[in-house]
Amino acid sequence: MEGAIEYMVWQRIRPFLFITAGSFLYSIAVNLFFVTNKLAQGGVTGISLLLHYKLGTPVGLLIILINIPVFILGYFVLGRGFLIRSAYGMLAASIFIDLTSAWQVPPLQNVILAPLYGGIIAGAGLGLVFRVGGTSGGGDIIARVLQHKFRRIDLGKFLFGIDFTIIAISALIVGVEKAMLTVVAVYVSARVVDLLLSGFQKQRSVIIISSKPDEITKEIHKRLVRGVTMLHSMGGYSRREGEVLLVVVQLYETDKLRRLVEEIDPRAFILALEAKEVHGEGFSFPSPARSHLGEENR
């Protein structure tokens, strides 16, 4: 009983620990590499950095102020559940950025090192945040709101459009060269995020062998709103007949699925495989049943 309680407590605090650690790493990248070398960024952080360069206002405070109307809009369009971890991630990153604002080093002589190292550290931080379903708010929420309105357009295209617009504007403030170096930083951080999320594939095909297939299937339908295929099986050694569950999920849902299964059957066997290409409702086009989650095609 005590072990079960500890496990439940850990599962509740784990996302916030990851988000806190990731936000701290992100703040290090912003102050030690981006601000010091006067680089921009995409999203709300990019807007805050540009205002900081022009007005000298604290970056973290600007991130919070700009995000207030964004979160209000997201609340009405995407719902409360999705925004809780996003709000915590945004606040943690903003606070850490201002707390570590004095942690700066002289500008690097080799200009390419700043976007490379900054991108790596920022990507590592954001990867930890995304790993547990959090976000840094801002542009991510705006992109999701737009994708909710224009469902036939991929979320990634909205994100790219927002970041590209802000970086293009930054050329007028920090110069074309700095803007081009910012593109390098954004690209490197995106690649590191992909690596931390277990590779470059966005979907996982998950096979679950459990003595409680019906309970697990019910919870997957309820909490993940994903379809489950039940395959008749027989153990090679025990000759025992049963059901094997097959479910395809987005990469960021893999951790949630694993925890869901372990809550119901800690002895369950879980095999996650890369899905090279997935077509169908909920993947290549939005599912109406999942519209309330506000997480489609993340």
Are 49 and 123 within one domain?
Answer: yes
Which of 143, 163, 198 terminates a domain? The answer is 198
Q: For residue 94, is pLDDT > 80?
A: yes
Are 93 and 170 within one domain?
Answer: yes
Q: Which residue has the tokens 């900081």?
A: 52
Q: Give the pLDDT of residue 192.
A: 85
Helix ranges restricted to H, the chain: 2-29, 43-55, 59-78, 80-99, 113-131, 139-149, 155-174, 176-196, 213-219, 254-264
Which of 198, 233, 266 terminates a domain? The answer is 198
Q: Give the pLDDT of residue 297.
A: 42
Report the C-alpha gap between 261 and 259 in whole angstroms: 5
- Asked whether residue 166 is domain-assigned, the answer is yes
The whole-model pTM stands at: 0.65
Order of all β-strands in the sheet with 203-209: 229-234, 241-250, 203-209, 269-274
Q: Which residue has the tokens 């095609």?
A: 297
Q: Give the pLDDT of residue 294.
A: 53
Q: Give the pLDDT of residue 28.
A: 92
Report the C-alpha gap between 198 and 187 in whole angstroms: 17
Report the C-alpha gap between 9 and 158 in whole angstroms: 36
- Asked whether residue 298 is domain-assigned, the answer is no
- Asked whether residue 295 is domain-assigned, the answer is no
For every residue of 240-253, DSSP letters joined together read -EEEEEEEEEEGGG
Are 144 and 247 within one domain?
Answer: no
Q: Give the pLDDT of residue 298.
A: 44
- The answer to whether the beta carbons of residues 286 and 151 sit under 8 Å apart is yes
Q: Which of 143, 42, 59, 47 has the alpha carbon at shortest distance from 93? A: 59
Q: Give the pLDDT of residue 296.
A: 45
Percentage above 70 pLDDT, the chain: 85
Angstrom distances, CA of residue 41 to CA of 44, 60, 69, 171, 252 = 8, 14, 20, 11, 23
SS3 136: coil
Mean pLDDT, all residues of the chain: 82
Q: Give the pLDDT of residue 103.
A: 80
Residue 273 bridge partners (DSSP): 205
Residue 208 structural domain: 203-290
Q: For residue 40, is pLDDT > 60?
A: yes
Are 83 and 3 within one domain?
Answer: yes
Q: Which residue has the tokens 């991929």?
A: 154
DSSP state, residue 293:
G
Q: For residue 180, is pLDDT > 80?
A: yes
Report the C-alpha gap between 208 and 27 in whole angstroms: 39
Q: For residue 24, is pLDDT > 90?
A: yes
Q: Give the pLDDT of residue 260.
A: 92
Which of 142, 169, 198 terminates a domain? The answer is 198
Q: If you compute the radius of gyration of the chain from its CA atoms, what whole number of angstroms results?
A: 21
Q: Which helix (H) or strand (E) holds 233?
A: strand 229-234
- Asked whether residue 296 is domain-assigned, the answer is no
Are 285 and 165 within one domain?
Answer: no
Task: Pick the range with the lowest mean pLDDT from 112-121, 185-194, 274-283.
Answer: 274-283
Are 238 and 188 within one domain?
Answer: no
Are 29 and 70 within one domain?
Answer: yes
> Between 210 and 106, where is the model more confident?
210
- Look at the chain and count its residues: 298
Q: Give the pLDDT of residue 291.
A: 64
Phi, psi at residue 250, to the nearest 5°?
-70, 155
Q: Give the pLDDT of residue 219.
A: 92
CATH number of the CATH domain containing 275: 3.30.70.120
Report the C-alpha gap between 130 and 190 in whole angstroms: 11
Report the C-alpha gap between 123 and 19 in whole angstroms: 13
Are 51 and 106 within one domain?
Answer: yes
Are 48 and 162 within one domain?
Answer: yes
Quickly state the pLDDT bin for 295 (edges 50, 70, 90): very low
Domain total of the chain? 2
> What is the mean predicted confidence (pLDDT) over 23-35?
91
Helix ranges restricted to H, 229-296: 254-264
121 contact partners, CB below 8 Å, separation of at least 6: 25, 26, 28, 29, 32, 33
Are 72 and 145 within one domain?
Answer: yes
Q: How far apart are the first and last CA of the chain?
A: 36
Are 124 and 107 within one domain?
Answer: yes
Q: What is the pLDDT of residues 195-206, one digit of tens each?
A: 776 555 568 899
Q: For residue 121, is pLDDT > 90?
A: yes
Q: Give the pLDDT of residue 191.
A: 80
Q: How are beta strands 269-274 and 203-209 bridged, if at all? A: antiparallel
Are 110 and 79 within one domain?
Answer: yes
